[in-house]
Amino acid sequence: MPVIIYIAVMALVTYLVRMLPFTLFRKEIRSPFFKGLLHYIPYAVLSAMTIPAIFYSTGSLTTAVAGTAVAVVLAYIRLPLIVVALAASGSAFVLGLFI
């Protein structure tokens, strides 16, 4: 029974977070500062959720840093996402075999 209560509270909170901006901000936001802030929020949240998981995912900080370095370099030269993900995972795996 507590699981149903948890799900209901989670649904309510999720609904409120998505509904409140539509009810509070009826006019277009004209401020360049707030437009810029709202533009970068998804990237900041995604980074805040992903970066810690990267460094704890392999169990070794060395392999995690190597995989991240490979991913950053390949992403910087604009390779496709699947190539970046596979190369980063592969490099962390191969380095983990030698450590």
Q: How confident is the model at residue 73 (pLDDT cuts 50, 70, 90)?
A: very high
Residue 1 predicted with pLDDT over 80: no
- pTM over cut 0.75: no
Region of 7 on the Ramachandran plot (φ > 0 left; ψ -120 to 50 alpha; else beta): alpha
pLDDT, one tens digit per residue, over 45-60 is: 999 999 999 999 888 9
Q: How confident is the model at residue 15 (pLDDT cuts 50, 70, 90)?
A: very high
